[in-house]
Amino acid sequence: MTIKKICCIGAGYVGGPTMAVIAYKNPDIEVNIVDINADRIAAWNDEDLSNLPIYEPGLAEIVEKTRGKNLFFSTDINKAIDESEMIFISVNTPTKTYGKGKGMAADLKYVELCARNIAEVATTDKIVVEKSTLPVRTAQAIKSILHNTGNSVNFDVLSNPEFLAEGTAIQDLLSPDRVLIGGESEDAIESLAKVYGSWVDDDKILRTNVWSSELSKLTANAFLAQRISSINAISELCEKTEANVNEVARAIGMDSRIGSKFLNASIGFGGSCFQKDILNLVYIARSYNLHEVADYWEQVIVLNDHQKRRFSDHLIKTLYNTVSGKKIAMLGWAFKKDTNDTRESAAIYVADHLLSEQANVAVYDPKVEDFKVLNDLNYLNSRPEQENRELVSVHDNPYEALKDAHAVAIMTEWDEFKTYDWRSIYDNMKKPAFVFDGRNILDKSKMEEIGFEYYSIGQ
Ligand code: UDX
Ligand code: UDX
């Protein structure tokens, strides 16, 4: 089938950029992105492209070229479903916060709602593509809902997991390492392969069965996160032994069997995917009674939590065991550079720990709005919201956040932090002036030369 109209339910970090690139590379296909969140859709339709709800380098340029031509954003979900031959489900699948599998399993209620909605509305045959990361065998559930509640039209379900990383989403979409399509119907698979084929070489488009495709996404994220926990584990050992984790990472990364990527020691990984997907993998393994398998992967999370905690413990200990009433400046709130996404960011947990010790936390992030910082902290429910408001300040000028601070904690590896005037920052801080570099982005000897007490990870 040649696809003329595509609908995507979910205008988030995955749906938005992915559909923008599909529209850009397929001018003959009309792409409609729909979402229940009217504010988000309004932001996608904003004349001023700096108001798009998602910050991604290169995204605004692509939206500018396609929006209103063959890319449309709307809240009219039913119309978009009915008119399209292919429907992507790209809604969020958070970790369950209630009931069986609480804190571990993926909450599939939004995905199920989408499937029911599609079944109710569709009057012609549809290819339904799961883009949201889902536990293994979810496609089967979607299929069952579609077939049992639909208007006896034909539904083919495909799994097409997204491998883009935030901050480099457009680059990752334009030149993917691979595109994965899992499915039963060869015709449906080839229809989707053709959409990607307009810019991706066919040998990079892998066709698998549905379950391999679903499991590959969880596995890819688990392997990536495992590398970070592995190097972070070594970072703690380096701090005890005078080895330097950057030197170790370089030395092992030059082994072509290991490779050099994803070996940056840090305050711990964040983001919407790694923790959620590993917990999900652990939950699935346990539900098949594979306890050794579950324990093995769970340790990646245990180590990550430890890394965040030991960073804030070390900060408090170094500041003479008390941060009460002290101003701690935090540079960066996003879970990595070049995104305004803060989900599961290590900064949230470090700040929460410092606030429990009654520190005054002053936050600066180049792309994160101030209400998000407070929302993230309130969501943890560690103290009354009023207290968070009193203890936390969010600044749009970094030098203000840093003025009179006892210590700086670098949470995100934003490039601009490297080029700040650290000498004048030093002059305006309380002495001794401490820097805790959670991303190893500053030069230790230069910082010490200025007069800072400088601490980094694994050095
Ligand atoms: C989400 C999932 O978290 C991830 O597992 C998957 O791989 C891709 O989709 P993301 O795009 O980052 O990732 O999520 P988010 O930015 O929260 O966007 C989801 C959107 O779906 C939201 O805008 C939400 O309003 C919308 N949504 C949710 C619907 O339109 N309908 C629903 O029923 C539920
Ligand atoms: C990840 C996967 O990379 C992507 O393929 C998948 O589709 C979604 O999940 P994302 O979470 O957007 O993407 O970003 P990623 O670049 O993987 O970073 C995740 C976290 O790991 C960030 O907090 C980052 O700072 C941290 N990280 C990454 C490290 O601490 N060290 C590293 O060496 C690399």
List pLDDT tens digits, range 183-219.
999 999 999 999 999 999 999 999 999 999 999 999 9
* Amino acid at position 242, single letter: E
Look up residue 370 and give its two tokens: 């101030």
- pLDDT band at 330, cuts 50/70/90? very high
Q: In this predicted structure, what is the pLDDT of residue 139?
A: 87
- pLDDT of 36 higher than 80: yes
Beta pairing class for 155-159 and 71-74: unpaired
| Cβ-contact 104, 95 below 8 angstroms | yes
Peptide bond just before 27 cis, omega within 30 deg: no
Q: How far is the CA of 156 from the centre of ligand 2 (A)?
A: 32
Phi and psi torsions of 297, nearest 5°: -75, -30
Whole-number Å distance between alpha carbons of 350 and 25: 42
The bound ligand whose nearest atom lies closest to the alpha carbon of 40 is 1
| Cβ-contact 55, 14 below 8 angstroms | no
Q: In this predicted structure, what is the pLDDT of residue 196?
A: 98
Q: Which residues pair with 393 in a beta bridge?
A: 362
DSSP 259: -
Nearest to 269 by CA among 165, 364, 408: 165
DSSP 74: E
Give residue 8's Cα distance to chain centre. Answer: 19
Q: In this predicted structure, what is the pLDDT of residue 149?
A: 85
* Amino acid at position 303, single letter: L
Longest C-alpha distance within the chain, in Å?
74
Looking at ligand 1, which residue's alpha carbon is closest to its atom 24? 10
Q: In this predicted structure, what is the pLDDT of residue 227?
A: 98
Q: In this predicted structure, what is the pLDDT of residue 218?
A: 95
- The DSSP line for 104-147 is TSB--HHHHHHHHHHHHH--S-EEEEE-S---TTHHHHHHHHHH
- pLDDT band at 259, cuts 50/70/90? very high
| Cβ-contact 398, 331 below 8 angstroms | yes
Whole-number Å distance between alpha carbons of 319 and 323: 7
Best of 232, 269, 304 for a ligand 2 pocket test (most atoms within 8 Å of beta carbon): 269
- pLDDT band at 135, cuts 50/70/90? confident
The bound ligand whose nearest atom lies closest to the alpha carbon of 35 is 1
Look up residue 245 and give its two tokens: 């984790």
Best of 91, 214, 277 for a ligand 1 pocket test (most atoms within 8 Å of beta carbon): 91
Average pLDDT of the chain is: 96
Ligand 2 pocket residue status of 165, Cβ below 6 Å: yes
Whole-number Å distance between alpha carbons of 108 and 104: 12
Ligand 2 closest atom vs CA 133 = 7
The bound ligand whose nearest atom lies closest to the alpha carbon of 268 is 2
Nearest to 90 by CA among 131, 41, 45: 131
- pLDDT of 133 higher than 90: no
- pLDDT band at 110, cuts 50/70/90? very high
| Cβ-contact 275, 304 below 8 angstroms | yes
Look up residue 144 and give its two tokens: 């069952």
- Taking only the tens place, the pLDDT of each residue in 210-252 is 999 999 999 999 999 999 999 999 999 999 999 999 999 999 9
- pLDDT of 134 higher than 90: no
Ligand 2 pocket residue status of 337, Cβ below 6 Å: no
Nearest to 176 by CA among 193, 163, 167, 189: 163
Total residue count of the chain as it appears in this document = 459
Sheet holding 453-456, edge to edge: 392-395, 360-364, 327-331, 407-410, 434-437, 453-456
Ligand 2 pocket residue status of 221, Cβ below 6 Å: yes
DSSP 94: P
Q: Which candidate in 7, 114, 238, 273 is catalytic?
A: 273
Ligand 1 pocket residue status of 43, Cβ below 6 Å: no
Phi and psi torsions of 145, nearest 5°: -60, -45
Q: In this predicted structure, what is the pLDDT of residue 140?
A: 87
| % of the chain exceeding 70 in pLDDT | 100
> Cα–Cα–Cα angle for 49, 55, 58, nearest 5°?
75
- Taking only the tens place, the pLDDT of each residue in 284-316 is 999 999 999 999 999 999 999 999 999 999 999
**Is 86 strand, coil or helix?**
strand
| Cβ-contact 401, 421 below 8 angstroms | no
Distance of CA 180 to CAs 176, 267, 272, 291, 441, Å? 10, 31, 20, 29, 35
Q: In this predicted structure, what is the pLDDT of residue 150?
A: 74
Ligand 1 closest atom vs CA 106 = 5
Looking at ligand 2, which residue's alpha carbon is closest to its atom 9? 273
Ligand 2 closest atom vs CA 164 = 7
The bound ligand whose nearest atom lies closest to the alpha carbon of 180 is 2
Ligand 1 pocket residue status of 340, Cβ below 6 Å: no
**Is residue 273 annotated as a catalytic residue, yes or no?**
yes
| Cβ-contact 362, 373 below 8 angstroms | no
Q: In this predicted structure, what is the pLDDT of residue 137?
A: 84
Whole-number Å distance between alpha carbons of 207 and 298: 30
* Amino acid at position 234, single letter: I
Whole-number Å distance between alpha carbons of 172 and 186: 26
| Cβ-contact 435, 453 below 8 angstroms | yes
Q: How far is the CA of 163 from the centre of ligand 2 (A)?
A: 11
Best of 180, 217, 228 for a ligand 2 pocket test (most atoms within 8 Å of beta carbon): 228
The CA radius of gyration of the chain, in Å to the nearest whole number, is 23
Ligand 2 pocket residue status of 440, Cβ below 6 Å: no
- pLDDT of 152 higher than 90: no
Phi and psi torsions of 417, nearest 5°: -65, -30
When mean pLDDT is compared across 106-115, 376-385, 420-429, the lowest value belongs to: 106-115
